[in-house]
Chain A
């Protein structure tokens, strides 16, 4: 019985974290898109400086543009 309760609790925590993570990622995606749009309007490069870009790490050659 205790085990079932524990598992339920764990499940709820994981579910909550999933929600928190997806909310944050959605906010980041929106913010990055807005920033790209503003840079486009100003005639600037749409690369964003140091965006929490994990892909950059893969080759270690991530371009950094102000």
Chain B
């Protein structure tokens, strides 16, 4: 699984996202630009300029028409994927830490930071998937997180729920239409922030990662924790692999913490766990700093990781990866 190293960012990576067909990937970093790359060979396709602060997040609608980004400049921007032109600037009160399109692309949520005088919120905008359409500047809905600010959030299947991960380690389920809080569950250790939330292909379940060194697979319908993956390092990211029943986790102790908490080197590896059996099955080394973001090709051909070191590493899965099966899985497959 030889990686392709993508050099284009000068600051730590914050998020990576593939298009639905997996052919292009987008990366954001603290250096204020969005990069687009061909996932097959790592060739840079273009950049999107305009934000005036660190970029925290990016997403692409399911038709690969519009790109959404969120940044420390308190804006969400919508871009024409093809031309790189910014088609809309949505102003918010504070930094935008996460954006995500709904399954059908007609809504976009934005998670805003808590700052003096402002509570953390999840703001929803109605979106027209058309680069020439006039987009609304006014939110269709605002959810205020008065208990603990949201750090990440996303849309479930059929936009039925908005699921959020919080700074205090809990996970919330909101009604996707009314924004009403339906449930809140302490999925992770108290006070240990949820750092990532990514969906299964059908969006009926999701994975969360946390600074508590675990990742969990949780049902969107009732917030039941179905699986727990235990590691030895604070996690920044977790993703669910299509086609194979694995999950990939990333994190690592930042260098500054290493000196104070342990004499050991940081462990900058992507970790593969079996989604069903919860065992660690492999690691991929490479980054010189903690892994901040991992995304998987929706077609299941590979994955990309983005590090505190400013690099994106794209991996294409090899035969061994696809062939790997537990004996009981082989049994099951044989019927």
Contact = CB atoms under 8 A, between A and B. Distances in A.
Interface residues of A, number: 25
A31 to B, nearest CB: 5
A17 B326 CA distance: 9
Interface in B155-195: 157-158, 160
Given A50-B242, A52-B243, A66-B62, A17 B202 contact: no
B104 interface: yes
A35 B203 CA distance: 10
A51 interface: yes
A49 B328 contact: no
A34 to B, nearest CB: 8
Contacts of B219: 31
A63 B219 CA distance: 25
A41 to B, nearest CB: 10
A48 B332 contact: no
Nearest to B105: A66
Contact of A49 (B105, B160, B201, B331): B201
Chain B: interface secondary structure?
loop
A51 B160 CA distance: 18
Q: How large is the interface on B (under 10, 10 to 19, 20 to 34, 35 or more residues)?
A: 20 to 34
Given A18-B328, A31-B204, A42 B242 contact: no
Nearest to B160: A38
Nearest to B62: A66
A57 interface: yes
B245 interface: yes
Task: Give 9 closest A-B pairs by Cβ, nearest first.
Answer: A50-B201, A17-B328, A24-B276, A31-B204, A48-B202, A18-B328, A21-B328, A51-B202, A66-B104
30 contacts: A14-B327, A14-B328, A17-B277, A17-B326, A18-B331, A20-B277, A21-B277, A21-B326, A21-B329, A27-B226, A31-B204, A31-B221, A32-B202, A34-B221, A35-B202, A38-B158, A38-B160, A39-B158, A44-B158, A49-B103, A49-B201, A49-B203, A50-B201, A50-B202, A50-B298, A52-B201, A52-B242, A54-B243, A54-B333, A64-B20
Interface of A: 14, 17-18, 20-21, 24-25, 27, 31-32, 34-35, 38-39, 42, 44, 48-52, 54, 57, 64, 66
Interface of B: 20, 62, 103-105, 157-158, 160, 200-205, 219, 221, 226, 242-243, 245, 276-277, 298, 326-329, 331-333
